[in-house]
Structure 1
Amino acid sequence: MTKNQLQNELKKRRPFDSPEQESILNILRTNDQFQNRFGRLFREFGLTPSQYNVLRILRGEGKPMPCQEIGERMIQVVPAMTGLLDRLEAQGHIRRERCTEDRRVVYIELTDSAKKLLQRMDAPVSELHKQLIGHLTTAEMKQLSRLLEKARLSVQSKLP
């Protein structure tokens, strides 16, 4: 039996135990490589992937948002959202404002400098997307997205 690409990359001698195992390991391996490339790009702009994600969410909303809602929209779960926001505030990228009606709610707003930073990042981020996955056809990317969503929805439906 010939080895497949993932077996070669992992220097795995025997075949995978199941197609499920091979698929999961392919997803994890690809995710790791993509995260490394995006992490490198974001570091060039003084951000972590999570910090970029917060700024991207705020820009997309176009108005101040409650901290909790930002946390719910994150691509990856961040256990220490307050610390993440503290660092963004220290860098001058966000402002916080407590809600006058409910003091437990804190609204987060982008600063002008963060908006300018995101504008500078738009082209390099878009170019990296193209470098990483632009070799796939539009139909292949749509199929990949559908399959990943199907896998993710299956996991989400089984959570307690």
Structure 2
Amino acid sequence: MTPPGLQDELKKRNPFDSKQQEAILNILRTSDLFHNRLGRLLREYGLTGSQYNVLRILRGEGKPLPSLEIAGRLIQVVPAITGLIDRLEKQELVSRVRCEKDRRVVYVAITDKALGILAQIDQPLMAMHKQLIGHLSQQELQQLIDLLEKSREGVTRDLE
């Protein structure tokens, strides 16, 4: 059985103005639904999506990183990386270390407390990923990844 299209889902009487519009609105609708579900899960561990993202980056790197490097790797752009790191530091999930060579550079390190929380989140998060898109085949997942990456080319080209 084919799931209802976005037009039906939104109870939109008239067709979309273009396939591009329909595609963009589908991406936005899907992103919002996924974001809400993931946000609920992360709140159970006292984290926002952006906070989780910072911790995920630090754990993956395995060493402290400068704040601006973290900001450049975030999935969703955060205008105030300093405030975000302040809140994580208050929760004792990261610590700051000034660079000895250049005092203007501040490195952010993940704490053992944060690593423990991430370890608790890993399995429920993988289960949620499976719940959200586990019905897609490996080929469909790769096709989705390829199409989304290709779609972002237009945006990144404009930034150059």
TM-score category, normalised to shorter length: over 0.9
Cα distance in 1 for partners of 2:50, 2:103 equals 26
Cα distance in 2 for partners of 1:159, 1:62 equals 30
Q: Secondary structure at the match of 2:159?
A: coil
Aligned equivalent of 2:68:
68
| Corresponding residue pairs, total | 157
Q: Secondary structure at the match of 1:158?
A: helix
Aligned equivalent of 1:27:
27
Aligned equivalent of 1:124:
124
Aligned equivalent of 1:105:
105
CA displacement at 1:159 relative to structure 2: 2.4
Aligned equivalent of 2:142:
142
Counterpart residue type for residue 117 of structure 1: I
How well do the aligned residues superpose, as a CA RMSD in angstroms?
0.8
2:54 is the counterpart of 1:54: yes
Deviation per CA, 1:4-52: give whole Å up to 9, x if none: 5201111110000000000000000000000000000000000000000
Cα distance in 2 for partners of 1:108, 1:39 equals 23
Cα distance in 1 for partners of 2:148, 2:27 equals 9
Give the gaps of 5 or more residues in structure 2.
Answer: none
Counterpart residue type for residue 89 of structure 2: E
Q: Secondary structure at the match of 1:45?
A: coil
Q: Secondary structure at the match of 1:85?
A: helix
2:6 is the counterpart of 1:6: yes
TM-score by length of 1: 0.96
Counterpart residue type for residue 104 of structure 1: R
User: Matched residues, percent identical?
Assistant: 62
CA displacement at 1:104 relative to structure 2: 1.1
Detail structure 1 runs of 4+ shifted over 2 Å in the superposition.
none
Counterpart residue type for residue 84 of structure 1: L
Cα distance in 2 for partners of 1:64, 1:142 equals 32
TM-score by length of 2: 0.96
Deviation per CA, 1:87-125: give whole Å up to 9, x if none: 000001000001011111100001101001100000011
Cα distance in 1 for partners of 2:49, 2:36 equals 10
Deviation per CA, 1:118-150: give whole Å up to 9, x if none: 000000110010000010000000000000000
